[in-house]
Amino acid sequence: MLGFILRRVSLVIPTFFGVTLLAFSLIHLIPGDPVETLSGERGMDPARRERLLHEFGLDRPLPVQYADYVWQVLHGDLGTSLTTHEPVMKEFLILFPATIELALCAMLLSVLVGLPAGVLAAVKRNSVADYAVMGVSLTGYSMPIFWWALLLILFFSVQLGWTPVSGRIAVEFDVPATTGFLLIDAIRSGEPGALRSALSHLILPSIALGTIPLAVIARMTRSSMLEVLREDYVRTARAKGVSRLRVIVVHALRNALIPVITVIGLQVGLLLSGAILTETIFSWPGVGNWLIHGVLSRDYPVVQGGILLVATIVITVNLVVDLLYGVVNPRIRHG
Amino acid sequence: MADPPRRPRDSGDPVSLATAPAIAVETTLGPGVRRDDAPLTPSPLREFWSDFSQNRGAVAGLSMVIGLILIAIFAAFVAPHSPIEQFREATLTPPVWQDGGTARFILGTDPLGRDILSRLIHGSRLSLLIGLISVTLSLALGVALGLLAGFFRGMTEIFIMRLMDVMLSLPSLLLAIAVVAILGPGLINAMYAIAIVLLPHYVRLTRAAVIGETGKEYVAAAKIAGAGPLRLMFNTVLPNCMAPLIVQATLGFSTAILDAAALGFLGLGAQPPTPEWGSMLADALEFIQRASWVVTWPGLAILITVLAFNLMGDGLRDALDPRLKR
């Protein structure tokens, strides 16, 4: 087991350095250099420019600059935002819980709905229910989520007035951010209505963000279940007189879950992609929103640091899924 | 036209090897080939079509795609107005079936008084073009890199595949945004960005298929017959790796159209007044409460187009994947 873990971890390290190289080259591929960006339209006299270049270490050879960059990254220093003059790492850590909260709720929703829907479609193959589930999930899979989010707002917030249009909580609540997860903070604050307000702000973004993973999970569950339901042991179980429900849930679903879990793990990247759009539309104060503002305002340290951090998260989650998979399935561990 | 006979990709068993070449030559060369040993099995192309046409969703997807292509080609004739002409006296006209709508603007007008239907029709050109260009670019580069990695193995392979791993570790839209951050916003740069996002999939697929094929006898035979590395790569092995690539390319169209629309929506893709569907949505955002139709139609157009390519891609996969047959 230890050998397996070490093997997998050692595979990830070059990828991580590749990502730092990518983030590093981002700054150097942009036309012009940071000093030029600082000087703005007016230009700068050559002596001052030289001094600033030296100050930023930009006059040194590229490999030295890269080594320096990696050194700083490994110490958690991702530079300072050009717009807020705050450390990038600090800003990220403040905003990240909001994104996790949204992503977790979206994931929960997509698993809770997608899994049963996929099982239903597989068990009632070629029925109306099957076609309905597959039709809806194909549509969900093809959905431009920024448009879907707008439709949700238009219907539930504007027409029906059930949910707020944007933000994380109504302005009248002043919940102290102890954990950064607003649902937890709202419960801890003990303010009546705070949790309700936080939940009502969370529901539409979660639906918007969860739609594509939901569709993917439903499709994957269906095809995986169909495969397992054909197995001999399922027929044996039925022949032995085990109830239909028990066969489906205990015998079939458990074995059908392995590929589904992998797919769920792969959705993390997708969720973070989707979070960029969802957060922009719902003005959700998370990492996605922050990154887009960084790109639009040419705040390169934010873009560079944000990309590095998001990629690191995706790499780490994939590694964990990989390791868990090895725990569940010994064939992989020894392969 | 003197290629060595190809082995059809879907015959996994060695028994069919004897009859296979005649079938393959017949379909790839078309008319004028000898028909004396007429195959007992239907030609791969016919077999493919019979599999594909059984899938109603796939046929629906294909018809939608053909319809879209026709609309895009004849946009100038189909569209009732110019996509950028502003009818100042008719801003935010609702669709014809709502109060205040007129038959002159069937789907209504946008805040600047431009006909939405005409903009959508012209937008189909952009979306299909974005799909075509980014998928073609990505496929060409991806196949080349995949062939290199699969043929030469060793350091070349490690370098290429590690690079692809790095690219895959970034969520697709984030990678596209990073590329646009470097190149600057715009439609052309969005296409490059999407081509880069799609690249790792083609490289991985090609490499895996190449490695699977190179061990087989027909490749050894071609090698013994004196085929050089380029001929081996492009003439011998590549045609037998096409099935997964065709499927991926079709699905790549839907990713490309979706991501381009997302970039347009975020203001990083096509710039106004280009009638690109994603940026049309973004332009209309502030009017969403007063005039819901300005956001409804462009989104619906994106959804239908992406759905069509996904349906077609699923159908292609089912028809081309030998594992799913029988």
pLDDT digits (tens, 9 = 90+) for A212-258: 999 999 999 998 998 888 888 888 888 898 888 888 888 888 888 87
Task: Check A153 against B288: CB less than 8 A apart.
Answer: yes
Tokens standing for A236?
């044996």
Chain A residues touching residue B157 (CB < 8 angstroms):
none
Which residues from A are below 8 Å from B when comparing CB atoms? 14-15, 18-19, 21-22, 26, 29-30, 138-139, 141-144, 146-148, 150-151, 153-154, 158, 269-270, 272-274, 276-277, 280, 291-292, 295-296, 300, 303, 307, 310-311, 314-315, 318
ipTM: 0.83
- Averaged pLDDT score across all residues of chain B: 82
Chain B residues touching residue A32 (CB < 8 angstroms):
none
Give the number of A-B residue pairs with CB atoms closer than 8 Å.
125
Tokens standing for A31?
């036309």
Dihedral-angle region of residue B304 (phi above 0 means left; psi in -120 to 50 means alpha; beta otherwise): alpha
For A239, A243, A247, A270, the CA distances from A235, given in Å and listed in that order, are 6, 12, 9, 37
pLDDT for the residue A193: 77
Nearest to A143, CA basis, from B168, B152, B301: B301
Chain B residues touching residue A318 (CB < 8 angstroms):
169
How many other C-beta atoms are found inside a 10 Å radius of the C-beta of residue B14?
9
For A215, A273, A289, A315, B216, the CA distances from A310, given in Å and listed in that order, are 24, 10, 13, 9, 42
Query: Searching chain B, which residue's CA lies closest to the CA of residue A165?
Result: B289
**Identity at B262, one-letter amino acid code:** A
| Gap from B76 CA to chain A (nearest CA, Å) | 26
Query: Searching chain B, which residue's CA lies closest to the CA of residue A22?
Result: B166
Counting as low any pLDDT under 50, the low residues of chain B are: 1-30, 32, 34, 325-326
Task: Check B261 against A144: CB less than 8 A apart.
Answer: yes
Task: Check B299 against A150: CB less than 8 A apart.
Answer: yes
Query: Searching chain A, which residue's CA lies closest to the CA of residue B251?
Result: A142
Nearest to A123, CA basis, from A228, A273, A41, A262: A228
Task: Check B310 against A141: CB less than 8 A apart.
Answer: yes
Task: Check B177 against A154: CB less than 8 A apart.
Answer: no
Compute the distance between CA of residue A113 and CA of residue A210 in angstroms, rounded to an integer: 10
User: Which residues lie across from B109 on neighbouring strands?
Assistant: B115
Chain A residues touching residue B197 (CB < 8 angstroms):
none
Task: Check B169 against A138: CB less than 8 A apart.
Answer: no
pLDDT for the residue B36: 54
Q: Which of A19, A143, A148 sits opposite B169 (nearest CB)?
A: A19
Nearest to B210, CA basis, from B248, B238, B232, B243: B238
pLDDT for the residue A41: 59
**Identity at B10, one-letter amino acid code:** D
Nearest to A273, CA basis, from A191, A194, A209: A209
Q: Which of B162, B254, B281 sits opposite A142 (nearest CB)?
A: B254
Nearest to B134, CA basis, from B252, B301, B275: B252
pLDDT digits (tens, 9 = 90+) for B68-124: 999 999 988 888 888 888 888 877 888 888 887 787 888 888 888 888 899 999 999
Which residues from B are below 8 Å from A when comparing CB atoms? 57, 162-163, 165-166, 169-174, 177-178, 180-182, 254, 258, 261-262, 265-268, 278, 281, 285, 288-289, 292, 295-296, 298-299, 302-303, 306-307, 310-311, 314
User: Which residues lie across from B3 on neighbouring strands?
Assistant: none
Nearest to B194, CA basis, from B125, B129, B108: B129
Chain A residues touching residue B127 (CB < 8 angstroms):
none
| Gap from B165 CA to chain A (nearest CA, Å) | 6
Task: Check B307 against A148: CB less than 8 A apart.
Answer: no
Q: Which of A22, A144, A154 sits opposite B262 (nearest CB)?
A: A144
- Averaged pLDDT score across all residues of chain A: 84
Query: Searching chain B, which residue's CA lies closest to the CA of residue A319?
Result: B169
Helices first, then strands: H and E counts in chain A = 15, 0
Counting as low any pLDDT under 70, the low residues of chain A are: 31-44, 328-335
Task: Check A276 against B174: CB less than 8 A apart.
Answer: yes
pLDDT for the residue A177: 73
User: Peptide bond preceding B8: is omega within 30 degrees of 0, i.e. cis?
Assistant: no
